[in-house]
Structures are given as C-alpha cells and as structure tokens.
Amino acid sequence: MSVQHYFDTMEYGLAPEADKEVRAWLKTHADGFGHFIGGQWHSPHSGHYFEALEPGSGKKLGKIAQGSQEDVDLAVAAAKAALGPWQKLGGHGRARHLYALARMVQRHSRLFAVLESLDNGKPIREARDIDVPLVARHFYHHAGWAQIQESEFPDHSPIGVVGQIIPWNFPLLMLAWKIAPALAFGNTVVLKPAEFTPLTALLFAELAQKTGLPDGVLNIVTGDGATGALLVEHPDIDKIAFTGSTEVGRMLRERTAGTGKSLTLELGGKSPFIVFDDADLDGAIEGVVDAIWFNQGQVCCAGSRLLLQEGISERFIAKLKRRMETLRIGDPLDKTIDIGAIIAPVQLERIKKLVEKGVLEGAELYQPSGNLPASGSFYPPTLLTNVFASSTVAVEEIFGPVLVSMTFRTPDEAVMLANNSRYGLAASVWSETIGLALDIAPKLKAGVVWINATNLFDASVGFGGYRESGFGREGGKEGAYAYLKPTAWAKRKPRKPLPELPQAIEKKGGFEFPEIDRTAKLFIGGKQIRPDGNYVRPVLSPKGEVLGEVGEGNRKDIRNAVAAARSAEGWGKVTAHNRAQILYYWAENLSARSDDFAQTIAKMTGDSKTIARKEVQTSIRRLFTYAAWADKYEGIVHTPPLRGVALAMKEPLGIAGIICPNEAPLLGLISLVAPLVAMGNAVVVVPSEWHPLSATDLTQVLETSDIPAGVINIVTGESRALGKVLAEHDDVDAVWAFGSVELSAEVERFSIGNLKRTLVDQGLETDWYDPKAAEGPVFLSHAVEIKNIWIPYGE
Ligand code: NAD
C-alpha cells in the first residue's frame, strides 16, 4: 500500500481503549448494585432488579436495583436528616467537600470515561475529553460558589431536600450539573439516574463516600420512570430538578402544581444552526459535525435544523456530504471513531421511523456509504434535504444523528425560521460579519446562542431553555438561584381566609343630587373598553356600601388584552433608560393624585386614612425602585476557559399575566406590574378581585404617563376564572399569581400547554411593605430570561 493510498482513504486500524479496570469493577458488583442511601448500599426493598446493557454490543453490564416506595422513603428520610448538619457545616466546609469531589473525578477520570462509554455507547474520545473534564470543572466551580455563598447570596437560603431526575445522554455530566450546585448551596439530594445509564452515578457514589462526603447528603436511587414519579410525589421533597423529555417535564409540572415544590425543567430542543453566506464554510462544516453528530445527535441542544442562506446552500450541502463520508462509526471504545452507538433498540427504532416519515413526506435522504457494525444499535449520520418548516422531521426532536436542512434568503427570514419551533434551547449563528451575528443572537428564542461555534459548555455559563425547552438555568451565577430561595419569603404566613362578602346595601331613592354613576371599564390596548359580556360587578366597602362598579372580564377580554400586549412587544426593545423615565413619570403622576388614591383605598378596604396613605406612598417608592433597576439589572460577562466570552443577557419574557392579591390593592399591583414592565414585558393584569377601583383609577394615570398602548392592560373580574384563562393561553409567556392556594395550584397546573413560567405564592401572604420580600431582584429575576451568547474570538 502506498502512502498516497492511506492519505486518500484515511483508513487506519482500531485503537481500542482498555476496559480491564472497568470490567473488574463491574465484577465486584456482579450480585447486583443496590441503592446508595444514607452512606450505605441497600438492596432494593422489592427485591427487583433490571439489567444495564452495553448499547455497543447489547451485552449485560450489571444488575440494577428497581427503586420502590420504601427505597424512596428511606432515601428522602436520609437526605432530610442530613440537611441540618450539611447547612451547619457552612460554605467553607461544603467547599472542601466539593473540591474533594472534583479531585476524585480527576483521579478516576479514565475509569469514569470508560464506564460511561460502555454504558451509554458514546465514543470514548468524547467521554474522556468532554464529559469527564466538564464534570470535574463543575465541582471545582461550585466549590467556589459554596466558599463565597454568604457574601454573594446574603438574602437567600437553600431550598432543602432536592429530588433530581436525569436522562441517559450525558449520565455523569447531568449528575454533576445537578448535584454540584445543589450541594454547594446547602441542599441535600436524592438523585435518580436514567434507567439506561445508571452506572457512572453508582461509581460516583462509591467514590464520593471515600472522599468523606457525609452520609445522607447524596443519595442515589435507581429505577425507571415509576421510581422517578415516586420521588416527585414524595411530600418531604422541597424541589424537583428534572432533565429529560418535554413530555415527562410537562407531567411533572402538573404533578407538582400547588404542592409548593420548586421545579426546574431542562427539556428537549430542535435547535437551529444558521449559516450566512459570508460564513467560514469549512469552519461551519466542522460545526455541523459537532452540532449533530456529537454523542450520536442524542443531545438536547443538538443543532438539528440546518438553515442555509440560499447563495451557499448547494456548495455547503456538497461539502457536507463529502465530510459525512469520512465519519467513522463503530465500537464506542475505539479511540478512532466519531460516532458510537444509539442508546437502545427502542430509540433506534424511533429514529428509523421518524426518518421514514420524513422521506414519505417528501424529504431527500442522504447517508454515507460506510457499513455499520454488524451488532449493537447503530445508525448512520443522516441528512434530509427538501424539508419544509412544517415537515415532521423539522418539527419533532429526533434525538439521533439526523440533520434536516432548509434555506433562507434574508436575515429576517433566518430568524423567523429559527424561531418557528415550540422549543427554545440553543442556536448557532455562523457569519464572519460580527455585526450581523450579534444582531441575530438577541432575536433568537433560545437560552444559549453560539456565534461561529457550537456545543460549548462551561460550569460558569448558565444553560437552559426558553419556551417548551423548560425553565431554570444550570451553571453560573444564574444557575445558583435554582437551588436557593429568598430568605424573606420563608417568613410568609398563610393568608387568612377572606371574610364573607357583605350584603350590598341597596341605595335609597331621594330628591338630593345622586352620586355620579361610576362604572369603570377595562383598559386594553391603551383604551377604556366595555367588557365583552356587558356584565358588571359591584365594588363594596366592608360594610356593603356600593362604591362603584367594574367590568366583569371574560375569556374574550383576556384574549383581546393578550393580543394588545403582543402588539406592544416593541416595549422590550425600548432602551432601559427610556423605560426608567416612563416609570418615574408614572410615579410622578400617581403622586399628584395620591390623596384620591388613598381615599379610594380606605373606602374599599376599611383601612384607616393613615394606612391608605402609606400604601400610596410605598407604591410611589416602589415605582422609583423599579425605575432605578430598569437600567441596572443588567447581564454579566462570563469568562469560561476559552478565548472568548459568554454574555449572559437578561431579556424580557414577553407577555406576562398577573393576578393581584386582594390585600394592598394598589401596592400589590404595582409591586407585581413594575418589575415586569421595567424589564420590558407587556402585561395583562387582573387587579384585586375585591378592591379593584384603585386599579381602574390607575388607567387615567397610565394614560398620562407615556406608557405605550398595550404595555399594561387591565381586566377586572374574578381572579381564579381569569387566572385559569391566562394560564391556559399559549401566547402568554408567564403568569404571576398571588392569592389563594387554589389559585396557585390552578395557575401551575394550567400552565403546561406552552410550559409558561409561573410565579405563585401558594396562598402565603407577602408583606408588601418589606422591601426584602416584595421588591428588587427577588422579583426581577422572575421577570427575565437569561440568554447566554458565546462569542469565541481569535484569528
Ligand atoms: P425521559 O423524559 O424519558 O427520561 C428522563 C428521566 O426521567 C429518566 O430518568 C426517566 O426514568 C425519568 N422519568 C420518566 N418518566 C418519569 C415520570 N413519570 N416521573 C418521573 N420521572 C420520570 O427522557 P430521556 O429519553 O431519558 O432523555 C431524552 C430527553 O432529555 C430529550 O428530550 C432531551 O432533549 C432531553 N435532555 C435535555 C437536556 C437539557 O439540559 N435541556 C439535557 C439532556 C437531555
């Protein structure tokens, strides 16, 4: 054979990684792995085991315990018992433990990498060079957060016992993303690994114990979805952190609704990979390889939708096909392969079916000519062209090595196509024109945007989605808040049950001048509008005097208000300075009418004039607070270990529905509306059900305060009924609901359609006068999405 031949074919022999140590470790557990609970190994209470299989060969790797109710109870109890001492240890003590875990991962990095590759089927190259180093980095980074927790998060406390459920695609990395921040910030954990890939979690537990991690701080219960469900339902779990499919995520949102459990969801994606005609095409080709064939495309943020500018499309596809011919598929432990095995036959079938469907719908299929290994679950790298935005393969997450390609003409069209998805996890933008790339990035609905790069991850940079890709961030300062709660909120007490509504006192006729009739309208799109149903509701004083009437808003009114809010989306692009000025102006105009407002509040609530005046003054102060924050609640620049930066930008959520509490009718409303509006959101507000007149009076103030039409819409009516409509509305991005326990539960439950963000009080009363509980970052953080834009640089 000539050198030229080798050069042309790039053929080379196998380079298998040794698996002796891993096999020896597996052998020591040949009788079956137990659950790791309270620092001990427990056989499954039910006596049931299932098998862990090697995707590359289908061979057995070990017997895994199936977790039952008793196992989950035991693990949660262990985590609960460890919570106090773990918190008492303090930030520095926890930092030492996290540091030890990071060192442990590094010391055993080869063992972890080989085991991961065997259990998951991913190429050893990736497990060794990407997964495991990122795991160690995550523990180092979070050791740091534990160390400086007290100074950096003085107003926050740990959440408590956290249940964590992870998928099979990055088993050890997802474990690290979950447990490092949870433990660092003083929570204890029960983690359930995916049933396909439990082994590295079990190895981790075994080695973590040897580092001296206190018993009960980390518990691992293995099992399938049923075990996960037990964890979710457990009453002593304070938070669920889930990574997995949108389908299961949605179910967890429903199951945890109204329980007071905190929830973060990292779900699926269908991420766009956008190549402009001035991109470095060879660089972009390598980007595509990484975007969709890394980990066999079983990556939540895989760049699975290739969007090419028309002028380069043909050339790019030809180059890509040539590159696909050179990808090597084979034994995951072979150091020379690019693509390993698909996790399981069932996933392989799913990929095949979706590709067949794509072809039936008219897509053109391209797969390179190489042979696949004879046994095991393998699927070739696949490209589908002639695909439309509505094709099944362009819409559904395939979670395999399948790329679909479409074209666009203009940057606007690229953005439209990119955002034409129910998901919003990640996006890649390729252009040598930095101005263009940086103009596109903020327009993409995605939690992560990579400029001229893809699949970059780091512990210092938050990762997570928009829309149906879930909520919450993992990594970085933004990720810390997933494991912390505002300390001031712990003081909240259940709202007292409302007294019975008084009987309305009938007006007596007479010859004196009657009061001028006062029927407040709804405020939609900057106009005062009659309610659709043409019904009104009386507003009563505590004694039953009729103080006025307000419109009885219905579903149609909410729909109109949402449409008005959507047309006011430009508010999000107004400069922060401008938003601040308008909030100040609002405060100024409210101040000019403060006596009127105090009088109305006193009449509605029966509060003394002094208290009512205090409410108005605090409302004005609160508007000042948010005018101040409008241009100061800024993003940060992360400096991950690469030549480049990641900009953590705070972006508005879009449209938020707000259900105001009955108490503090003006202050409650302003405390909820102002942070959302300051951050560039448009809102649909349902004011205090019992005391809505200070909200309807506010329309006159809003009309004179330069707030653009549609930014604030007010629909009066019944809180729970309108809360349900807002929660169910798929064009609403968030709902904040403050009121009864039932209201909170319903808003969370009905939010599952588009997985909107919710902020509810679970029927606990906020002290609206306490700035720590009622203003500032505790609310602002819920009024924004954080998008991380990665900008690598260099020649
Ligand atoms: P999955 O939702 O089927 O399973 C994920 C985990 O949830 C597993 O541990 C499973 O046992 C458990 N589970 C299943 N049903 C449950 C239930 N009813 N109650 C509680 N737990 C339950 O997802 P998967 O197939 O393992 O993983 C693939 C999905 O994960 C893809 O959609 C992918 O996009 C997503 N993912 C997202 C991210 C991210 O960070 N956004 C990262 C990796 C994977």
Distance CA 76, CA 88 (A): 19
Q: What is the mean pLDDT of residues 665-682?
A: 98
Q: How far is the CA of 167 from the centre of ligand 1 (A)?
A: 4
- The whole-number pLDDT of residue 779 equals 98
Quickly state the pLDDT bin for 418 (edges 50, 70, 90): very high
pLDDT range class, residue 10, cuts 50, 70, 90: low
Phi, psi (deg, nearest 5) at residue 532: -55, -45
Report whether residue 466 contacts ligand 1, using a CB cutoff of 6 Å: no
DSSP state of 129: I
Q: Pick the residue whose CA is nearest to atom 22 on ligand 1.
A: 225
Q: Which atom of ligand 1 is nearest to the CA of 255?
A: 19
Each residue's pLDDT tens digit, 623-632:
999 999 999 9
Cβ of 229 below 6 Å from ligand 1: yes
Contact 162, 218 (CB under 8 A): no
Taking the CA of residue 269 as reference, the ligand 1 atom at the shortest distance is 34
pLDDT-based confidence at 6, cuts 50/70/90?
Answer: confident
Average pLDDT over every residue of 249-276: 98
Pairing of strands 484-486, 156-158: antiparallel
Q: Which atom of ligand 1 is nearest to the CA of 244?
A: 30
The band of 77, judged by pLDDT with boundaries at 50, 70 and 90, is very high
Is residue 365 within 8 Å of residue 382, measured between CB atoms? yes
Q: Phi and psi of 329, rounded to 5°?
A: -115, 140
Does ligand 1 have an atom closer than 6 angstroms to the CB of 273? no
Q: Per-residue pLDDT tens for 736-757?
A: 999 999 999 999 999 999 999 9
Spacing of C-alpha 350 from chain mean position? 26
The sign of the torsion formed by the CA atoms of 475, 481, 482, 487 equals positive
Check residue 693 and give its pLDDT. Answer: 96
Sheet holding 734-737, edge to edge: 527-529, 522-524, 712-714, 682-686, 655-659, 734-737, 757-760
Mutation test of ligand 1: which of 134, 165, 396 has the most ligand atoms closer than 8 Å to its C-beta?
Answer: 165
Q: Whose CA is nearest to atom 38 of ligand 1?
A: 300
| The pLDDT of residue 794 | 86
Q: Which of 208, 202, 175 is nearest to 104 (CA)?
A: 208
Mean of per-residue pLDDT scores for the chain:
96
Nearest CA to ligand 1 atom 43: 300
Q: Is the pLDDT of residue 597 over 70?
A: yes
Ligand 1 centroid, distance to 482 Cα (angstroms): 18
pLDDT at residue number 91: 98
Digit-coded pLDDT (tens) for 438-475: 999 999 999 999 999 999 999 999 999 999 999 999 99
Can you tell me the distance from the alpha carbon of 532 to that of 229, in angstroms, rounded to the nearest whole number?
A: 43
Token reading at 258: 């109204």
Query: Which atom of ligand 1 is least distant from the CA of 247?
Result: 2
Per-residue pLDDT for 387 more than 90?
A: yes
> For the chain, what percent of residues have pLDDT higher than 70?
99
Pocket of ligand 1 contains residue 106 by CB under 6 Å: no
pLDDT exceeds cutoff 70 at 1: no
Q: What atom of ligand 1 comes closest to residue 165's alpha carbon?
A: 9
**Is residue 254 in contact with ligand 1, taking CB distance under 6 Å?**
no
The rounded distance, in Å, linking the Cα atoms of 270 and 577 is 35
Average pLDDT of the segment spanning 58-84 = 98
Q: Whose CA is nearest to atom 40 of ligand 1?
A: 266
CA of 211 to the centre of ligand 1 (A): 29
The phi, psi pair for 342, rounded to 5°, reads -75, 145
Q: Which of 116, 300, 468, 478 is catalytic?
A: 300
Q: Does the C-beta of 300 come closer than 6 Å to ligand 1?
A: yes
Cα 189 to ligand 1 centroid, rounded to whole Å: 18
pLDDT reading at 13 higher than 90: no
* Count of all residues that appear for the chain in the document: 795
Nearest to 54 by CA among 402, 378, 397: 378
pLDDT reported for residue 17: 96
What is the three-class DSSP state of 724?
helix
Tokens 């523990």 belong to which residue? 139
Distance from first CA to last CA of the chain, Å, rounded?
38
Beta strands in 525-678 (DSSP E): 527-529, 536-540, 546-551, 636-638, 644-652, 655-659
Helices marked H in 108-170: 109-120, 124-126, 132-147, 149-152
Query: Is 90 exceeded by the pLDDT of residue 499?
Result: no
Cβ of 46 below 6 Å from ligand 1? no
CA of 247 to the centre of ligand 1 (A): 9
pLDDT reported for residue 399? 98
Cα–Cα distance for residue pair 517/393, rounded to 1 Å: 60
Q: What is the mean pLDDT of residues 158-180?
A: 98
User: Where does residue 47 rank: exposed (0-12), middle (13-18), buried (19+ CB within 10 A)?
Assistant: exposed
Q: Which atom of ligand 1 is nearest to the CA of 231?
A: 20
**pTM (2 d.p.):** 0.96
Cβ of 399 less than 6 Å from ligand 1: yes
Contact (Cβ atoms closer than 8 angstroms) between residue 208 and residue 171:
no
* pLDDT tens, position by position, 26-48: 999 999 999 999 999 999 999 99
CB atoms within 10 A of CB 139: 25
> What pLDDT, on the 0 to 100 scale, is given for residue 519?
78
DSSP string, 471-494: E--BSHHHHHGGGEEEGGGGG-EE
Residue 300 annotated as catalytic: yes
255-to-230, 489, 644, 789 alpha-carbon distances in Å: 11, 23, 41, 33
Mean pLDDT of 643-670: 97
| Closest listed residue to residue 98, CA positions, set 217, 263, 243 | 217
Establish whether 301 is a catalytic residue. no
Query: Which pair of structure tokens corresponds to residue 570?
Result: 């430009």
Q: Give residue 30 CA to ligand 1 midpoint distance, Å.
A: 27
> In this model, does residue 514 exceed pLDDT 70?
no
Q: Is 468 in the pocket of ligand 1 (CB under 6 A)?
A: no
The closest residue, in CA terms, to atom 21 on ligand 1 is 228
From the number of C-beta atoms within 10 Å of its C-beta (0-12, 13-18, 19+), residue 375 rates as: exposed
Tell the burial category of 161 from Cβ atoms under 10 Å away from its Cβ (0-12, 13-18, 19+).
buried
In order of 215, 412, 452, the CA distances from 280 in angstroms are 53, 21, 9
Per-residue pLDDT, 110: 98
Residue 591 CA, ligand 1 centroid: distance in Å = 52
Position in ligand 1 atom list of the atom nearest CA 463: 40
How far is ligand 1, taken at its centre, from the CA of residue 606, in Å? 52
pLDDT at 262 over 70: yes
CB 225 less than 6 A from any atom of ligand 1? yes
Position 500 pLDDT exceeds 80: no
Continuous H helices in 185-224: 199-210
pLDDT of residue 510: 77
Catalytic residue, candidates 116, 126, 195, 266? 266
Q: pLDDT-derived band of residue 371, with 50, 70 and 90 as boundaries?
A: confident
C-alpha 480 – ligand 1 centre gap (Å): 22
Cα separation, 226 vs 48, in Å, equals 13
